[in-house]
Structure 1
C-alpha cells in the first residue's frame, strides 16, 4: 500500500506540474498548450480519484469526482483536437470543432446537484471505484443512468483513438505536409503513448466482463510506473520534447558555453574588416592584427582539411575551434582568420558541412534501420535544430524533402 501511495502521489505531482506549466506557458501555440494541459489535468484527476477511493476518503472522493468528471469526458476530444490542430497548424478552434466538447457538457449536467430527481449512494460509488475503476462503475453517479459511465465513456475512447490514428496515418501519406521529421516523431510517440494508457485503462473493465480475477491496485501501479518511465525518457530526449511539453524553454536559444563563445569569436573575426598594414607608418598599433603569409595560409588551410578528413573530427559533437587551434598549435584567432579568409567559411558552417556530407553517405546505408535524427546524431550534430539549419544551408532544403527528391532522380 505504501508503494501505491508513493507512486500515485508522485505521478499526480508530475501531471499537475505539466498541466500548470502548459496552461500558463507564454511561448508556443496557446491552443495546443491548453489542450495538452487539459489532457494532463484529466489524467491527474483520474489517478487522484482512484487513490482517494482506495483510501476510503468518502467526502474527498465525492468532491473530486464531481469536479473532475467533466474534464474526464473532455479528455478524448482534447487528445484528438491536439493532434488535429498540430497537423493542420491551427491556433484557434473552428466553430464546428467545439461540438467535440458536447460529451464534457453532458458530463457537467450529469454531476450537477439534482436532489429532486436522483439520490446517489456515494458509499457504493466509492467502493466500486476502489474495486473496479472508472469503466466498471455500475452505480448511478449523477443525473444520467450508470450506462453513461461504463458504456458511453469507453465508446468515446475507442472512437477518438480511431479518429486520431486515421488522421495521423493520412498525414504520413501526404507528401505535401509541412510537418518536420521531429514533429512527426513527436506525434507518433504521443499517439502511441496515449493509446497505451487508454487501452490499459480499459483492461480492468474487459477482465470484469470476462470474469477474470484482477487487482485494480496492480493496474494503478503499472499506470504510475509507466508514467514515471515516460518522464525519465523525456528528460533524456530534450531536443525532441522541448517545444511540445516544455514549451516555456526555448531549446533553439544558445547558452553561453565554450561552444557559443568560440562561435562568437570566429563570427566577430569574420565580420571585422581585415585592413592591410602600412609599413611606412611607425606609430604603434592598437591590439593584435593577423597577418599570415600566403604560402603559410595555404599550408594551414590544407592541414585543416586533412586533419578533419583523416581523423573525422567532425564526428565529435563537442569539437570546437579552440580544439582545432590546439591541434594545429596556432592561436585561435589565427585559426579563425584562416577559415574565414582562405576556406571562406566560419568554423560552425565549415564543420557542419562535413557532418552533412557524412550524413548523406550514411543515410543510404542506415536509412532503413534507424531514423534520420539518429543518423544526424551519429554524424556529430548535438541537436536537431543545428542539423536542420545546417542541412538547409548546405543543400537549400530540409532533409526529408531533399532525400525524396534524390530518390526520385535515382529512379
Structure 2
C-alpha cells in the first residue's frame, strides 16, 4: 500500500471519529453543554482541516471552495481558547465580543478576494504556483503562526491562573481536570509544531516526507482527542469551574499597603487564625470532599478575602494543602488506632474527605514521606 492510499484511509478514519465525537457531544445531556458545544465545533474544524486529501480527489483543480476550506484553520485555535475559558470559568458566556476572535479568518478571506476568489481558473493556477513569492501568501503564513503562538500563550496563562485560584479556594480532587487540560494543550502545541514541520517539508525538495508527517499527525491527533474526551466524559464532576472575578491572593496583597498588612491587622489575623484552627479541629469540615473556602468563611464569620489572605499568605499554604493537612493528620490517627487495623486504606481515604486514591497517596506521601500502606506496615512492625 503506497502512502497516498494510506493517507486516504487515515483521513477517512479521522473524519469519522471527529464527526462521531462531535455529534455525541452535541447530543449528550449534561451540565457542560456550552463546553461540549465548543469542543464539538473544534472537532468539526479539525475534520474540515484534515479533509484536504478527500477534497482533492473530488476537486482536482484550484477552487474557491478548496481555498475557503483551508482558511478554516484560522478558526481552530480561537475556538479551543473559548472552550478552555468555558471549562475554567463558571461565569463564562458566549457574547458578541467573542466574534472578534474570528477576525483573522475574515481578514484572510478578504485578502484572497482580488487575487483568488474573483479571478478565472488560469489565474488561480498562477496564484497556487507562485504562492511562495506572493505578499498575500507570506502575510497569511506569518499571521497564522502569530495567531497560534499568541493563543497558546494565552491558554497556558489562563490554565496557570485558574489552577492557582482553585488551590486557593477549593480542596477537592478537581485539580486533575486542569492537569488533563494542560497536558492536552501541551500535546496540541506539539501537534501544531508537527504541522509547521510538515509545511516546511512540503515546500522543500522533500515533499514526500511531508506526506508521512501528515499521516503521523492525523493518527496522533485523533488518539489524543479520544483520550481527552474519555477522561472528561467519564469524570464530568471533576470540572468544577472557577468564578473569573475571583482574585489571586498575590493580587489582593499587592492592593494593600505593607504597613497595614503587617502592623494594623496583625492582632486581628492572630485572632482569626485561632478561630480557624479551633473550627477545623472541633467541627472537622475537611471531612467534606467538596469543602470550599467560602463554606468555611460562612461558618466562622470571616470574609472570604481575609480568610484567603490568612491561609494562602500568612500560613504560606494553598487552601488545598491546608485542608489536606488536616485530612492526612486524621488519616494517620485512624492508621495508628489498633481497633481499626482491618479498615482498608480505600475506606480511610473516603472517610477523611478524599475521593481519589491517587490524590490521597500523593498528599500522604508529601506530608509523611511514606505511602499509607508503608506507614501502616511501619507502625505494625514497631509494635511487634
TM-score range, shorter chain: 0.5 to 0.7
Determine which structure has greater relative contact order: mean sequence separation of CA pairs < 8 Å that are 6+ residues apart, divided by chain length: 2
Q: Determine whether 1:184 maps to 2:178.
A: yes
Q: Determine whether 1:363 maps to 2:365.
A: no
Structure 2 gaps of 5+ residues are 240-336, 373-384
Alignment of 1:10-409 (within 5 A): 10-53=13-56, 55=57, 57-58=59-60, 62=63, 64-110=65-111, 118-119=119-120, 121-123=123-125, 138=132, 145-174=136-165, 175-176=167-168, 180-207=174-201, 215-230=209-224, 233-234=227-228, 237=231, 242=236, 309-310=341-342, 312=344, 315=346, 352-353=350-351, 356=354, 362-367=361-366
- Relative distance call for 1:200 and 1:100 in structure 2 (3 A) is same
Shift of 1:306: 9.6
Larger radius of gyration between Structure 1 and Structure 2: 1
2:221 and 2:64 mapped to 1: Cα distance? 25
SS in 2 for 1:215: helix
- Relative distance call for 1:66 and 1:308 in structure 2 (3 A) is farther
- Relative distance call for 1:306 and 1:24 in structure 2 (3 A) is same
- Relative distance call for 1:242 and 1:71 in structure 2 (3 A) is farther
Structure 1 vs Structure 2 CA RMSD: 4.4
SS in 2 for 1:145: helix
- Relative distance call for 1:119 and 1:23 in structure 2 (3 A) is farther
Q: Give the match for residue 283 of structure 2.
A: none
2:233 and 2:340 mapped to 1: Cα distance? 27
Q: Give the match for residue 6 of structure 1.
A: 9
Shift of 1:308: 8.0
Count of residues in correspondence between the two structures: 264
Structure 1 gaps of 5+ residues are 129-136, 246-304, 316-348, 369-374, 377-411
Shift of 1:218: 0.7
Shift of 1:41: 1.3
Shift of 1:243: 7.3
Shift of 1:33: 2.5
SS in 2 for 1:90: coil
For the 8 Å contact 2:116–2:124, the answer to whether it is kept is no
For the 8 Å contact 2:42–2:79, the answer to whether it is kept is yes
For the 8 Å contact 1:32–1:82, the answer to whether it is kept is yes
Shift of 1:11: 0.8
1:40 and 1:85 mapped to 2: Cα distance? 16
- Relative distance call for 1:230 and 1:243 in structure 2 (3 A) is farther
Superposition TM-score, scaled by structure 2 size = 0.54
More helix by share: 2
For the 8 Å contact 1:58–1:123, the answer to whether it is kept is no
1:210 and 1:147 mapped to 2: Cα distance? 16
Q: Give the match for residue 302 of structure 2.
A: none
- Relative distance call for 1:157 and 1:90 in structure 2 (3 A) is same
Shift of 1:5: 1.9
2:177 and 2:360 mapped to 1: Cα distance? 24
SS in 1 for 2:42: helix
